[in-house]
A = this chain, B = another copy of it.
Amino acid sequence: MARNEPTIRRVDEYLEAHRDVFERQLVELLRVASVSAQPDHDPETRRAAEMVRDDFQAMGIEARLVETARHPIVEAEWLGAPGLPTLLVYGHYDVQPAEPLEPWHSPPFEPTVRNGNLYARGATDDKGQMLTHLKAAEAWLKTAGRLPLNVRFLIEGEEEVGGAGLEKYVAENADRLRCDFAVISDTSQFAPGMPAITYGLKGLAYFELLVQGADRDLHSGTFGGAVANPINALCSILASLKGMDGRIQIEGFYDAVRPLEDWERAEFARLPFSEEAFREDLHVGSLFGEEGYTTIERKWARPTCDINGIFGGYAGPGPKTVLPCKAGAKLSFRLVPDQDPRTVDRLFREHVARVCPPGVTYEILTHHGAPAVLVDVDTPAVRAATRAVESGFGTRPVLMREGGSIPVVGLIKQHLGVDTLLLGWGQNDDNLHGPNEKFSLADFHRGIRSAAHLLAELASDSE
């Protein structure tokens, strides 16, 4: 580390001098509505990929678009440090749909600064966080003319839709993509001023359930009571998934769940977390979750089931006395170690077959699945990351788990054999996936500084 001291000072100075430039670049990227789930946004999704590629090329890193069935991967690498280890940086340039639009205080794709936060869809998830690693590399290249170790970048465009493009690409190019560690900034700090290293993520099993009654919409007076109503049937199926005790009622669902370890429950309990403040922030009268667990345990380490969307019949203004012919829901399970999404898929299908009422048919679409992740925290890489984050934020990061899913972490483990450092610069109230998504500009810059130091710390650890 000592050897790099003068260099890292110049890197820090470069970062300080380019704060405005970096913010402008982030704003430009956020203006591009790269909503991967919505085909009418495909041109903008591609445009975002091109902007990321161009940014690499501008700083002197070779970069290219790798085509997939849908949205391209931006692949880039700087391999000018033979003999030194290689870091893989993953990020994604695609964003969640912005709907519903009405609650946004400023348009989702017109980035707006309020109270030191930048508001826009994708601000924290993941354009802002992803960009910290690009700007860190840029600072090294513009000051030292090189990076402290070899770095590969994989910036994909299908993270929010669970697209198969990246998995196919990594699986087919595993040899070529070899690396020693991976880093992703797509998570949150524990709290403002409490940066974190996330060592556990939940998995995901996402489904769409479509229920069909008659072959056409019917008058609810003339036909009501004589033929099954698919919305009633759908509600009956969905209501059967979870009990009033917050436990999922699917047979066998908990069989593979690894219980929380005692040290984790103790660590979690020590964190400054107020259930009352959490409840007040959400403006609910009471919290609701699985009996026997704290809110942090529920969020980080217990499997969940949420209906993400439901539709059917008439939803316009006023009443309409229709007996609709079909209805559907999007729903997902968050999984914990050692649940297998394929097993959950099977158990869910068996459950629906068991509880579906008579008179309707149904179809289940599996959208995407990923197993949960738990990373060993007692490694040189985690210690290097700890020092880097401390340099960037001025305080030691805490160890935490997360309720979100980052399927690529499992992918990297499976195909490249390495664990991933999850260094999150966001906040829990950043509204990722909801209206008014935001990212603290102060944390943006602290993240860039941490990412820049990470390159040096990982290199020095390997010397």
Q: Which residues from chain A sit less than 8 Å from chain B, CB to CB?
A: 36-39, 96-97, 99-100, 103, 160-162, 188, 202, 204, 206, 208, 213-229, 231-232, 234-236, 238-242, 244, 246, 278, 282-290, 295, 298-299, 302-324, 327, 329-330, 332, 334, 357-361, 367-368, 402-405, 428, 431-436
Q: Give Cα A94 to B218, complex, Å.
A: 18
- Which of these, B220, B360, B431, contacts A308 with CB under 8 Å? B220
- Which of these, B310, B316, B359, B403, contacts A313 with CB under 8 Å? B310
Decide yes or no: A283 and B215 within 8 Å by CB, A309-B320, A314-B330, A322-B308 being known contacts: yes
Chain B nearest CB from A24 CB (Å) reads: 27
Decide yes or no: A309 and B322 within 8 Å by CB, A216-B103, A219-B433, A288-B357 being known contacts: yes
Beyond A97-B314, A234-B310, list 13 extra A-B contacts (CB 8 Å).
A103-B217, A216-B431, A219-B403, A220-B433, A222-B428, A225-B289, A225-B290, A226-B289, A227-B282, A228-B284, A286-B359, A309-B313, A321-B433
Task: Determine whether the beta carbon of A225 is less than 8 Å from that of B302.
Answer: yes
Task: Determine whether the beta carbon of B240 is less than 8 Å from that of A403.
Answer: no
7 pairs, CB–CB < 8 Å, chain A vs chain B = A214-B282, A222-B403, A224-B403, A225-B302, A229-B306, A285-B359, A286-B358
Task: Determine whether the beta carbon of B311 is less than 8 Å from that of A311.
Answer: yes
- Which of these, B208, B307, B323, B434, contacts A306 with CB under 8 Å? B323
Return chain B residues, CB-CB under 8 Å to A224: 299, 304, 306, 334, 403
Decide yes or no: A357 and B232 within 8 Å by CB, A216-B431, A314-B330, A435-B217 being known contacts: no
Chain B nearest CB from A366 CB (Å) reads: 10
Decide yes or no: A227 and B308 within 8 Å by CB, A319-B368, A434-B218 being known contacts: no
Return chain B residues, CB-CB under 8 Å to A315: 309-311, 330
Q: Give Cα A197 to B402, complex, Å.
A: 66
Task: Determine whether the beta carbon of B298 is less than 8 Å from that of A310.
Answer: no
In the complex this chain forms, how many copies of it are found? 2
Q: Give Cα A202 to B216, complex, Å.
A: 22
Nearest 10 interchain pairs by C-beta: A288-B359, A221-B404, A37-B318, A225-B304, A309-B313, A239-B239, A217-B434, A215-B283, A228-B288, A309-B314
Residue of B whose beta carbon sits closest to that of A208: B319
Decide yes or no: A227 and B320 within 8 Å by CB, A307-B313, A308-B220, A311-B315 being known contacts: no
Task: Determine whether the beta carbon of A320 is less than 8 Å from that of B299.
Answer: no
Return chain B residues, CB-CB under 8 Å to A428: 222
Return chain B residues, CB-CB under 8 Å to A231: 238, 306-310, 329
Return chain B residues, CB-CB under 8 Å to A160: 320
Task: Determine whether the beta carbon of A332 is less than 8 Å from that of B357.
Answer: no
Return chain B residues, CB-CB under 8 Å to A358: 244, 286, 288
Task: Determine whether the beta carbon of B433 is less than 8 Å from that of A218.
Answer: yes
Return chain B residues, CB-CB under 8 Å to A208: 319
Return chain B residues, CB-CB under 8 Å to A221: 202, 204, 334, 402-405
- Which of these, B239, B283, B304, B330, contacts A320 with CB under 8 Å? B330
Q: Give Cα A304 to B227, complex, Å.
A: 11
Task: Determine whether the beta carbon of B367 is less than 8 Å from that of A319.
Answer: yes
Task: Determine whether the beta carbon of A285 is less than 8 Å from that of B361.
Answer: yes
Chain B nearest CB from A201 CB (Å) reads: 8
Task: Determine whether the beta carbon of B431 is less than 8 Å from that of A37.
Answer: no
Task: Determine whether the beta carbon of A284 is less than 8 Å from that of B359.
Answer: yes
Q: Give Cα A236 to B227, complex, Å.
A: 21
Return chain B residues, CB-CB under 8 Å to A308: 220, 231, 313-314, 319-324
Return chain B residues, CB-CB under 8 Å to A37: 316-320
Q: Give Cα A38 to B320, complex, Å.
A: 11
Chain B nearest CB from A46 CB (Å) reads: 17
Task: Determine whether the beta carbon of A287 is less than 8 Å from that of B227.
Answer: yes
Q: Give Cα A306 to B439, complex, Å.
A: 44
Task: Determine whether the beta carbon of A295 is less than 8 Å from that of B214.
Answer: no
Chain B nearest CB from A291 CB (Å) reads: 11
Chain B nearest CB from A276 CB (Å) reads: 13
Q: Give Cα A75 to B176, complex, Å.
A: 83
Return chain B residues, CB-CB under 8 Å to A432: 219, 222
Q: Give Cα A345 to B36, complex, Å.
A: 45
